[in-house]
Amino acid sequence: MANLFAIKSSVKGEYGCSSQLINLFVEKWESKYPESKTTILDLAANVPPHLTLDTVSVMPVSPVDRTAQQSNDIALSDRLTQEFIAQDVIVMAAPMYNLTIPSNLKTYIDHIVRAGLTFNYSENGPVGLIDNKKIYLICTRGGVYEEETLTVYMRSILGLMGITDITIIVAEGLDISPELQENSMADARAEVKKVVSNR
């Protein structure tokens, strides 16, 4: 059975609604697939550093051609990228902060979206290098939006890497009222149980 990689990004930690839904997903997954290994990456507890000139300038350089300092500069980015590539099934939290994703998740994405590793440029545009990977995207937001950019961006950036098998679970209106939060979270929890059960 495929292993599970769970990515959390809520700055509220375990109190965050997206973290609660991630935890439920992991619980149901491990119950259904007890032989599966789960790895959890908490981007709020372990915030990746923003890219620097040193990091970006080394990205196109082949590992065999890097100096010791260059290898050190790019080590974290390489590790995060290879860890992501190696996963089979990923459940990722993408709560909405100020109409976009948390900065820790954006920084993580900046590290793993790598020309030559997760996508390539071609005469016809970018070509993703990652396939056969399943993403469950858990999106939480305080308001209710008919159209919003968060899921559009996440589909686009994952698609850039070649990942198109994406299931999105949404809980919204979480800051409007306790009643709406309770109902929306109940619906999201039911959807989490459904998608794991139907896998």
- The mean pLDDT of 167-194, rounded to a whole number, is 96
By percentage, how much of the chain surpasses pLDDT 70?
A: 99
Strands 119-122 and 38-42: unpaired
Instruction: In whole angstroms, give the CA distance from residue 46 to residue 39.
Output: 14
Are 56 and 92 spatial neighbours (Cβ–Cβ below 8 Å)? no
Q: Is the pLDDT confidence value at 1 over 70?
A: no
Instruction: In whole angstroms, give the CA distance from residue 89 to residue 21.
Output: 16
- Sheet containing 165-172: which strands, arranged edge to edge? 38-42, 4-8, 89-93, 134-141, 165-172
pLDDT tens string 68-103? 988 988 999 999 999 999 999 999 999 999 999 999
Q: What is the phi/psi pair of residue 170, to 5°?
A: -120, 135
Classify domain 4-52+87-198 by CATH number: 3.40.50.360
- Residue found under tokens 């290879």: 82
The full set of domain ranges for the chain reads 4-52+87-198
Residues, the chain = 199
Are 158 and 84 spatial neighbours (Cβ–Cβ below 8 Å)? no
pLDDT tens string 105-144? 999 999 999 999 999 999 989 999 998 899 999 999 999 9
pLDDT tens string 141-165? 999 987 678 899 999 999 999 999 9
Torsion of Cα atoms, 154 then 40 then 172 then 180, to 10°: 180
Q: Record the pTM.
A: 0.93
